[in-house]
Chains A and B, each alone.
Chain A
Amino acid sequence: MSTLTLTLRAGDLPSARISLMGITPSALAGKSADEVARTNLQAGAQSVALGDLFSISGTAGETLVISGSSGTLDDIGNRLEAGTMIVEGDIGSYGGRRMSGGKLEIKGNAGPYLASRMSDGLITVAGSAGDSVGGIKAGEKFGMTGGQVVVEGSIGARAGDRMRRGLIIARGKFGAHAGSRMMGGTLWTEAGFGAEPGALLRRGTLIGPSVEALLPTFVDGGRHDLVVLGLISQHTKRTLGDLAPKALPKEVRKYSGDMATIGKGELLLFG
């Protein structure tokens, strides 16, 4: 398995944010180090050669490592289709946006719009993630439509905004308004939801041990022993292995909502 490593040269950073749009294993596969170095990146309004910012080592192939990354690097893993991207450090906005396959492994924190409009693949974050994970940019119809995101820390506000399918897991908390306008998919926190999750939730599942404040349009349906909990637990165990959260308990308390819409969504609380 061939690996290409791009190491950010800290001293050469422009003041503007840098977009790594198009820098994926499949886009770089087969290119020589010189060709990779000549690849243009957008830094604010300027165009910058990749080789001016990064040291390049290894051979382009299935794995791409971005070393020394920082929160000013946007679009890492944007439109990733296959292969593995490993980021040593933090990333900025739009990480894994419109990703349709492969794996994006972030060893630091992620900025906002992680996994926005993602359709398949796996994103892992060792730290925390910003707002609108799996959500949309203004004007878009659907957020995340597939794939899985596992965040070891917490997630910011509005996770899963307009999400349709897929699974977002946080070991920490989800911020306020998680699952807003959601049409499907699953949000699962091991630490709890912030205030008012599920505003205008149509379908979809929010799972966690607690919630800071419920919307008045969520209705307590009492305790339930649901087979789908086993289905979700088995699925995560099979696909995520050690990354999978602890299996869900047999019983949960189910709140149906958002009754301001069609009310086919659910907030499932355990513990």
Chain B
Amino acid sequence: MSDVNPNPGDAPKTINGIQIDATFAEAFGMSATGVVITADTPKWAMIAAKTMSGFGTSVIGCGAECGIDCEVPASDTPDGRPGVRVLLFGFSPDAVLPQLKNRVGQCVLTSPGSACYNGVEAKETLKLSTGIRFFGDGYQTAKTLDGRRFWRVPVMDGEFICEDTTGVVTDAVGGGNLLIIGKDRAGLLETTEAAVEAIAKVPDVITPFPGGIVRSGSKVGAKYAGMMASTNNAFCPTLKAFPVSELSEDTIAVLEIVIDGLTSDAVAQAMKAGLKSVIETGAKHDVTRVSAGNYGGKLGQHHYHLLEHLP
């Protein structure tokens, strides 16, 4: 999800033997919503959450970027059962709504013992239950508690509870990113995994790609008509011989972490957490450099300069 890096002119900084480029991650304004899924056990809440957030890596190809923000303890969920919070990002509330309804309808309603509640407190709301409640074929009923309306849809293991609405924010951010560069592919993966785990501790963010990691960073457009994006050749190690390469001779691999957040501050905190983790653990795994993807600063409203987000 990145293009070549223009160097703003500042010198890179080296910490613990890892070069931090003087560049920035360029991210975009997005809309975001979320749900808290509960179930009888943490295992089944997580199964429903993972199923719902599947095929949700990139808004371009998947319709939405989805991921698990956090587990929610039973004491904090509306029905007192263990829960998981899933966030969904899209271009607009209108674009997020069908994704939300399809994913809840196909992946949460169907999951044993599940229930689905508002996951984002916001003034603007989406009709979470519309469509899904009609699965009850007229036997559905609603229970309103403290101004919140919960639909009870009869299903074969009891009732599926689905809150009527969930919040949607239009000032979310998608596309914060880190490019982590190393001399050992296994070590690079281990370091990047640790960074994803560190980012997962930051509230209100997701890393939507598989395991939080992208190996196929992309640039906008291609030589072929109709291709919206193509490989980020400047960061492909097998293309080091070509002039546009941005990689040093000893680079073996590059992995990217893409970060979506409900707020710009959440993305900034996640960038910091990821950078801190790489700086602390990367050197022993032959990680040599951290960069970031951008489009020259002309497309995205949000710029996260790596040197301003150091631990």
Enumerate chain A interface residues (CB-CB to B < 8 A): 146, 165, 167, 184-186, 203, 205, 224-228, 230-235, 238-239, 247, 264
Contact = CB atoms under 8 A, between A and B. Distances in A.
A230 B80 contact: yes
A230 B79 contact: yes
A239 to B, nearest CB: 6
Interface string B78-105: 1111000000000000000000000000
17 contacts: A165-B144, A184-B142, A185-B144, A224-B158, A225-B158, A227-B38, A227-B81, A227-B158, A227-B159, A228-B159, A230-B80, A231-B143, A231-B150, A231-B161, A234-B77, A234-B78, A247-B80
Contacts, number: 55
Contacts of A264: 139, 141
A203 B141 contact: yes
Contacts of A205: 143
A228 B80 contact: no
Contacts of A232: 143, 145
B115 A227 contact: yes
Contacts of B79: 227-228, 230-231, 234
B80 A234 contact: yes
A226 B80 CA distance: 12
A246 B83 CA distance: 23
Contacts of A234: 77-80
Given A186-B143, A231-B79, 16 more contacts: A185-B144, A203-B141, A225-B158, A226-B159, A227-B38, A227-B113, A227-B158, A228-B143, A228-B159, A228-B161, A230-B79, A230-B81, A231-B78, A231-B80, A231-B161, A234-B80
Contacts of B81: 227, 230
A253 to B, nearest CB: 14
Contacts of B147: 146
A243 to B, nearest CB: 14
Interface string B113-128: 1010000000000000
Contacts of B152: 228
Nearest to A237: B80
Contacts of A167: 145
* Range for the number of chain B residues in contact with chain A: 20 to 34
B169 to A, nearest CB: 24
Interface string B10-40: 0000000000000000000000000000100
Given A227-B159, A228-B150, A228-B161, A235 B144 contact: no
A225 B161 CA distance: 13
Q: From A185, A234, A264, name the one whose CB has the most chain B CB atoms within 10 angstroms.
A: A234
A201 to B, nearest CB: 12
Tell which of A224, A231, A232, A234 has the most Cβ of chain B within 10 Å.
A231
Contacts of B159: 226-228
Nearest to A239: B146
B161 A227 contact: yes
A231 B143 CA distance: 10
A247 B60 CA distance: 46
A185 B144 CA distance: 7
A167 B159 CA distance: 21
A-B complex: 10 closest residue pairs judged by Cβ atoms:
A230-B79, A235-B145, A231-B79, A230-B80, A234-B80, A165-B144, A227-B161, A264-B141, A227-B115, A227-B79
Interface in B145-178: 145-147, 150, 152, 158-159, 161
Contacts of A226: 158-159
A81 to B, nearest CB: 16
Nearest to B163: A231
A93 to B, nearest CB: 27
Nearest to B39: A227
A225 B143 CA distance: 17
Q: Which of A167, A226, A227, A234 has the most chain B CB atoms inside 10 A of its CB?
A: A227
Contacts of B113: 227
A234 B36 CA distance: 15
Contacts of B144: 146, 165, 184-185
Contacts of A231: 78-80, 115, 143, 145, 150, 161
A203 B141 CA distance: 8
A228 B147 CA distance: 16
A186 B144 CA distance: 9
